[in-house]
Chain A
Amino acid sequence: GESVGLHLPTLSVQEGDNSIINCAYSNSASDYFIWYKQESGKGPQFIIDIRSNMDKRQGQRVTVLLNKTVKHLSLQIAATQPGDSAVYFCAEKGGGYQKVTFGTGTKLQVIP
């Protein structure tokens, strides 16, 4: 569901390590999923997306995994850098004109 009044969980990762950010989505009918990155003072920005007919998609240093059986989405960031420090949101969308629904968000802190 929508994130309301919730303080963000924090994931602390050493620079150079891999990060895994998890997200449980709510609607089994959702067929499109997106990860966003929000840096301090800015609006969320698109990182990577995946459609429900896929279970894995790779980008530059990022991989998204989709497990429809348990309604779980994850974002893996390889060789995490200080510039990766941000809040990460997952989002889901059903077919047609259904609105995009955002998850709670996770704050990633990269330790130099």
Chain B
Amino acid sequence: GAGVSQSPSNKVTEKGKDVELRCDPISGHTALYWYRQSLGQGLEFLIYFQGNSAPDKSGLPSDRFSAERTGGSVSTLTIQRTQQEDSAVYLCASSRGHANTEAFFGQGTRLTVV
């Protein structure tokens, strides 16, 4: 596609349920990022995938959070046993990895845990 696509755009879930958020990066982009953004706050880094290298998971806030990137393309961020503090916008971005070019962001998934 022309840009980074995220789905769903909005997700409301009950506390304790698991959720999966999807990111389709720009074709050919080897680098993929997940960020979390709470209302009125900055970008909180979660995880970084680059090609076939082991992902940088240093930003994941707890073991309830995990992410996969299958075939070097689509990525899924999974949050298990959701808590109210997980409510935020989850943003995905992709880039050409080694190249000094910008990362392109999707529109985000707004997650609300009730």
The chain A residues found within 8 Å of chain B, CB to CB, are 2-8, 31-32, 34, 36, 42-46, 49, 51, 89, 91, 93, 96-97, 99-105
Contact = CB atoms under 8 A, between A and B. Distances in A.
A97 B43 contact: no
B33 A97 contact: no
A42 B108 CA distance: 7
Interface of B: 4, 31, 33, 35, 38, 40-45, 48, 50-51, 53, 56, 59, 91, 93, 95, 97-98, 100-108
- B interface majority secondary structure: loop
B41 A42 contact: no
Given A2-B59, A97-B97, A8 B103 contact: no
A103 to B, nearest CB: 8
A102 B91 CA distance: 13
Given A43-B105, A49-B102, A97 B51 contact: yes
Closest 10 CB pairs of A and B: A3-B42, A43-B105, A32-B100, A105-B42, A2-B45, A99-B48, A46-B102, A102-B43, A97-B50, A104-B42
